[in-house]
Amino acid sequence: MDSIRTAENPLAVENIGRLIVKFAVPAIISMLVSSLYNIVDQIFIGRGVGMLGNAATNVAFPVSIICTATALLLGIGSASNFNLLSGAGDHEKASQILGTGLSMLGICGAVIAVIVLVFLGPILQIFGVTPDVLPYARDYTGITALGIPFLILTTGGMHLIRADRSPTYSMIGMLTGAIINTVLDPLFIFSFRWGIKGAAAATVIGQAASGMLVIAYFLKFRKVELSVHKMKPRADCLKMILLLGMSSCVNQVAMAFVQITMNNTLRHYGASSVYGSDIPLACAGVISKVNMVFMAICIGISQGCQPIWGFNYGAKKYGRVRETYKKAFGAALAVGIVFFICFQLFARPIVSIFGEGSEVYFRFAERYFKIFMFMTFINGIQPMSGGFFTSIGKAKLGIMVSLTRQVLFLIPLILIFPLFLGIDGIMYAGPIADLAAAVVAIAFAIRELGRMDVPAGGN
């Protein structure tokens, strides 16, 4: 019976290119929509509040990253195990994994929200806030903390919905919240004159709407069997989830550490430069949000391919695993080249979308864009490969690859280069770390693909 189910599953037999489009496009749209929460806020805050508002969202950004890390730890960990177990024919265990993952998403969301609200002041100081930015950061982070349970449930839950073979519903769920946020942002900021508090309120309402759609899916529309009994967290299932979700989580946690280190370094070296402390914080915030669009596409490609990689690896169809990786590699490279051209040729127009500023502000933003993002054309390889290793059950390798850019290369370079180059050293740290991380990811991918034996009978 299990072999019949495997043979009938489209992941095992359908054309790889069509499968990637079917799963990756909704995943990309979902990731883009997720990044729109931050980008739309940044645009309207920049135009309605100004540079200090942009700096405030940058200071608050590590909270969002930590929430995403938790959601990916549980969401991707559950989805990866679900795909591998389904491919191997163990559907009972797969549904237990799904139930444990959903329960833990809700529990962790509530815990993190309470921690942020209770320790808001010290958290913002650690994240690099300046005295001028503090009131804005406190208002924005304090309100958006109320949406943390919905943010984590939505981000993690959408992975589980895709694993349950409903990528379109996942896309619609994310899109609904983003549309609500986009409509309410100008209404709250400009019409109601709520300023940065209005942007935060719009974000929370959008996140709540998406979270309710996740709940509705698993109550009414799911394909997998999921009883109340299976929603009880199981220690053995949680261990399996953490093992395969750790790679994506570590990558996000590393991003949070990089953001915190970056904010504090920019604040320190900016104070002794012509730019001051607030301009570098604001510019880095804008550019990190723009880069989220690029990374959303690359991560969406990886997430869309994960059901294909995981199922076929579990079913020992290694030829299909190889073909999927090669096509994902080509797609990530093509997207990177397009964004590299945009970042190099249109830096000032892109920054201008997020509000006005002095000539000094735009001069720093252009330099930061062109130097720090110089290796954009290969930046999609590392996160895509990290997702590949996780989906085939190589958790330790996925964690190591996820750590390369952020922890092994970027943070040390951010701390060392400014000692000799001042604030420019932060900019040059970016492309060097990106190149090194891409080389490591490609080397390990080649090794793993070469180790897979194509079984008798072809793909």
- pLDDT tens, 385-415? 988 988 888 878 887 887 888 888 999 999 9
3-state helix, strand, coil in the chain (%, to 5): 85, 0, 15
The single-letter code of the amino acid at 291 is N
Q: 456 pLDDT exceeds 70?
A: no
Dig out the tokens for 133 from the structure. Answer: 């930015």
346: number of Cβ within 10 Å:
12
Joined tokens for residue 414: 């951010």
Residue 204 identity (one-letter amino acid)? V
- The pLDDT tens digits for 294-353 are 988 998 898 889 888 988 888 888 888 999 999 999 999 999 999 999 999 999 999 888
State pTM to two decimals.
Answer: 0.74
| pLDDT score of 7 more than 70 | no
Integer Cα distance of 50 and 361 in angstroms: 12
pLDDT, tens only, 94-137 = 888 988 999 999 999 999 999 999 999 999 999 988 889 999 99
Task: Answer for the pair 426, 306: CB distance below 8 angstroms, yes or no.
Answer: no
